[in-house]
Structure 1
Amino acid sequence: MASMIMASSKPIIRVPTNSLPSTPKLPSLQTITPNLKLQLSKLKSMTLAATSLSFVFAPPSLAFEKAALFDFNLTLPIIVVEFLFLMFALDKLYFTPLGTFMDNRDAEIRGKLNSVTNTSEEVKELEEQANAVLRAARAEIAVALNQMKKETQAEVEEKIA
């Protein structure tokens, strides 16, 4: 039993309960407020002094560099080369395939539209042929009716006479 580990919920070290304060004592707001105002005024004056010193002791070259509109140093040719490379790459990889796709699609649409107009012309020709056949059939019917009328008229006259 001597080699067994035993767990217990009781603390081994006893802590005196009267040594811990029951509630922390906070300083009152009246004593903090004047100190805070004093610290803020010190901070503002120190910030103002630091910025004014940085402007006074700033080298004049910084003022001239900030006033320049463009920097004509080594970055300009690098940017130009990057721009030209990007323009060339986008032209070859994106815009050329897109342009050929759009041209092919446009040609396909125009071909379909031309076939539709050709089909409509064929339809018009077929309608004219159908109308011609109908006119010919009506003319034959009219001739046949006139002949029948003449025959019936002749029979009626024979029967009357």
Structure 2
Amino acid sequence: MVQANQDEPESLVKAFQGANVIFAVTDFWSPMYDPYNYAKLRPGQTINEFCYELELQRGKNIACAAAVIGTLDRFIFSSLPNISKITHGKYPHVYHFDSKAKIMEYIQETLPELSEKTSELQLGEFATNWKIWKVRRPNKASINGWKVSSTTALF
């Protein structure tokens, strides 16, 4: 295992050296819970907007670093749909979806060789969410089964 920093592209290139497959996921939420980031907000900027921009830049850094790895056969990016686009602007503030979609657009439009090797994975929610939110935990439904309840928004 190697360590890299998403804010330091050169550390990503170093970490990716010799890789055949890279699975990349960006994190919209963690920066929101770091109190130091609130001091970095521009006047009038919300923390959601800050997290959007940070995630977008970090995703671009990961993609650009992956693009120069000569041994790379497959780049897998964990993404989400562009809600602003598919709702024709009706929901313009779903930043945690749109940032990931914009990273995929960046790869497709700017890094064609990487795009050829890219698979997009859209899970919709973290596989560990059931641990965090009680409502999403499996509940015993019968002697032979379990039930998972979840609310879903349809666009």
Question: After TM superposition, is the score higher than 0.5?
Answer: no
Q: Tell me which structure has the larger Cα radius of gyration.
A: 1
* Bigger relative contact order, structure 1 or 2 (CA pairs below 8 A, ≥6 apart): 2
Which structure carries more strand by proportion? 2
Which structure carries more helix by proportion? 1
Coarse TM-score class (shorter-chain normalised) = under 0.3
TM-score, reference length from structure 2: 0.17
TM-score, reference length from structure 1: 0.17
